[in-house]
A and B are shown apart, each in its own frame.
Chain A
Amino acid sequence: MAKKILIIEDEKTLRFLLAQSLIAAGFQVEEAVDGEEGIKKMKENKPDLVLLDLILPTMHGFDVLIKIKKDPFLESVPVMILSNLGQKEEVDKGLELGAVDFLIKAHFSLDEIIEKVKKTLSSY
């Protein structure tokens, strides 16, 4: 069965482009525009991996990550941060909070992101 990816990203275009390529790569995709919607969707239909933006409208991505990692039901889902922040402090904090990877959007092509997603899923 196709693996399920949840994208939590407020930018419509980025979300659309990410979803497009994930679908083309054979994944099943769910989308959420902010952290609250993201967590709600995770609970309804647990994904195999989450792509999480950091600067989100209501709740900061780090707070979303903390919530996920505190929830015994969701805690095991790997979360990859996909953000345009990328100062050392931010990367360190993201990994410390339990993200499996921290990708800077501007530095990765869609193909490279798909590769990272596949690689992460294969090790879970």
Chain B
Amino acid sequence: MKNDIFPKKIISPDEALVVINYLSDGLIVFNEQKKLSFINLFAQKIFGVDDRVLGIDIEEMVNFSGLKEVFFLLGKEINELNRKELEINKKMILEVSSFPLFKESRKIGYLVILHDVTREKSIEKMKTDFVSLSAHQLRTPLSSINWALDTLLKERLGKLNESQKTLLEQAKESNQRMLALVRDLLDVVKIEEGKYLGKLVPSDFLKIVQDVIKNYQEEIKKKEIKFQLQLTSNKIPKINIDQEKIYSVVQNLIDNALRYSFAGGMIIVSINTDENNLIFSVSDSGIGIPKEDQNNIFNKFFRSSNATRLETEGNGLGLFVSKNIIEAHGGKIWFESEENQGSTFYFTLPLK
């Protein structure tokens, strides 16, 4: 049977060793006593060592410049790792995985796999730099347009008639959307750079929510939405957050609820707490999210089909950015939704 699956001539241990040596991933094996028992050529090249390191104890790795970093990551107990990033000598980035090896349920040692992702990382960085640069470059002409429209609308350069005014107001609104898009693009970049949150300060969450709601009063009235703010706990403790970012999440969720609700609909915003978390939710009686779109709703640039039909504006970044902000705070974000019935979006933020 075996010969049907494997080549006629099964590879010899010597040949297997050659294959392992020439893999483009680095491999390091430790025996059960945590002594280095094998290091393939690729790994030797990465760290500038040769097979003289064979037999050393894992703790002796600190004596070798590159291996030292691996040791700090693994720890002397050899933690299980799944693609942990490690920078070696400022020029190479590895993804390190490690796990114990078992033979017939007996632990025989540990395998460490080092995957070189330097190139991928540098491409990622180029992309990030490109987006960041173009976003900054876009802002200057956009600010010019914005301020020019401001100046005209203030009638500093002469009186405007009604239709001129309306047209300029529309132009200003489009320009504002463009500025918001650029800001969102920069947010996406920052998320991908992994340095998203600013300073966490103890903040009054209720105040943030009230501030957001205040800014939407006019629209709520215009759309004749029945709007409620429900508080179940009478005192909400201060929580450590990046205020500006959390403000933008609350704003995004309330904005979505309004945008995708019909006139005369209902929106309920609620703030709860349990032992460990603050729970915020926004519930609307709007268009809802079709079943087939529900898995993608937090993806970058995704917009559900019915949302696109109803409201052509929108860049598909709001929920993506929101999710990242909430998760960066150690919270969770999710939703329940039924098409044509409405949606409820929830997020939690840890109290401590």
| Chain A residues packing against B (C-beta within 8 Å) | 11, 13-14, 17-18, 20-21, 24, 84-85, 87-88, 104-107, 109-111
Which residues on B sit within 8 Å (CB–CB) of A20? 151, 156-157
B245 to chain A, nearest CB (A): 12
B183 proximity list for chain A (CB < 8 A): 106-107
Q: A13-B148, A106-B179 are in contact. Are A24 and B142 (CB under 8 A)?
A: no
Known: A21-B156, A84-B136. A111 touches B150 (CB 8 A): yes
Closest to A109 in B: B150
**A8: min CB distance to chain B, Å:** 15
Given A13-B148, A87-B190, 15 more A-B residue pairs with CB atoms under 8 Å apart are A13-B144, A14-B144, A14-B147, A17-B144, A17-B151, A21-B156, A84-B139, A104-B139, A105-B139, A105-B140, A106-B146, A106-B182, A106-B183, A107-B179, A110-B154
Chain B residue with the shortest CB-CB distance to A106: B139
Neighbouring B residues of A105 by C-beta, 8 Å: 139-140, 143
* A-B contact list, 29 entries, CB within 8 Å: A11-B140, A13-B148, A14-B147, A17-B147, A17-B150, A18-B147, A20-B151, A20-B156, A20-B157, A21-B147, A21-B150, A21-B151, A24-B154, A84-B136, A84-B139, A84-B140, A84-B143, A87-B132, A88-B195, A104-B139, A105-B139, A106-B143, A106-B146, A106-B182, A107-B179, A109-B146, A110-B147, A110-B150, A110-B151
In Å, the complex CA distance between A3 and B136 comes to 32
Q: Does residue B194 face the partner (Cβ distance < 8 Å to A)?
A: no
CA distance A115 to B83 in the complex (A): 51
Complex interface: chain A residues within 8 A of B195 (CB): 88
Residues in chain B near residue A110, CB distance under 8 A: 147, 150-151, 154
Q: State whether B136 touches A85 (Cβ < 8 A).
A: yes
Interface size class of B (residues with CB under 8 A): 20 to 34
Q: Tell me if B198 counts as interface (CB < 8 A to partner A).
A: yes
Which one of A14, A21, A88, A111 lies within 8 Å of B143 (CB-CB)? A14
A13 to B183, CA, bound (A): 22
Mark interface residues in B37-78 (1 if CB within 8 Å of A CB, else 0). 000000000000000000000000000000000000000000
Q: Chain B: residues with CB nearer than 8 A to chain A?
A: 132, 136, 139-140, 142-144, 146-148, 150-151, 154, 156-157, 179, 182-183, 190, 195, 198
Contacts of B136 in A (CB 8 A): 84-85
Most chain-B CB neighbours within 10 Å: which of A17, A87, A88? A17
Q: How far is the CA of A11 from the CA of B143 in the complex (A)?
A: 11
Nearest Cβ on chain B to A116's Cβ, whole angstroms: 14
Question: What's the Cα separation between A109 and B142 when bound, in Å?
Answer: 12
- Taken together as a complex, chains A and B put the C-alpha atoms of A17 and B195 apart, in Å, by 35
* Docked CA distance A17–B136 (Å): 20
Nearest A residue (CB) for B190: A87
B residues less than 8 Å from A109 (CB atoms): 146-147, 150
Are the C-beta atoms of A88 and B198 separated by less than 8 Å? yes
Q: Which of B146, B147, B151, B156 has the largest number of chain A CB atoms within 10 A?
A: B147
Residues of B within 8 A of A17 (CB): 144, 147-148, 150-151
Shortest C-beta distance, B5 to chain A (Å), equals 56
What is the CA–CA distance of A106 and B150 in the complex, to the nearest angstrom? 13
| CB of A80 to closest CB in B, whole Å | 15
Nearest Cβ in chain A — how far from B149, in angstroms? Answer: 10
Chain A contacts for B190, CB-based, 8 A: 87
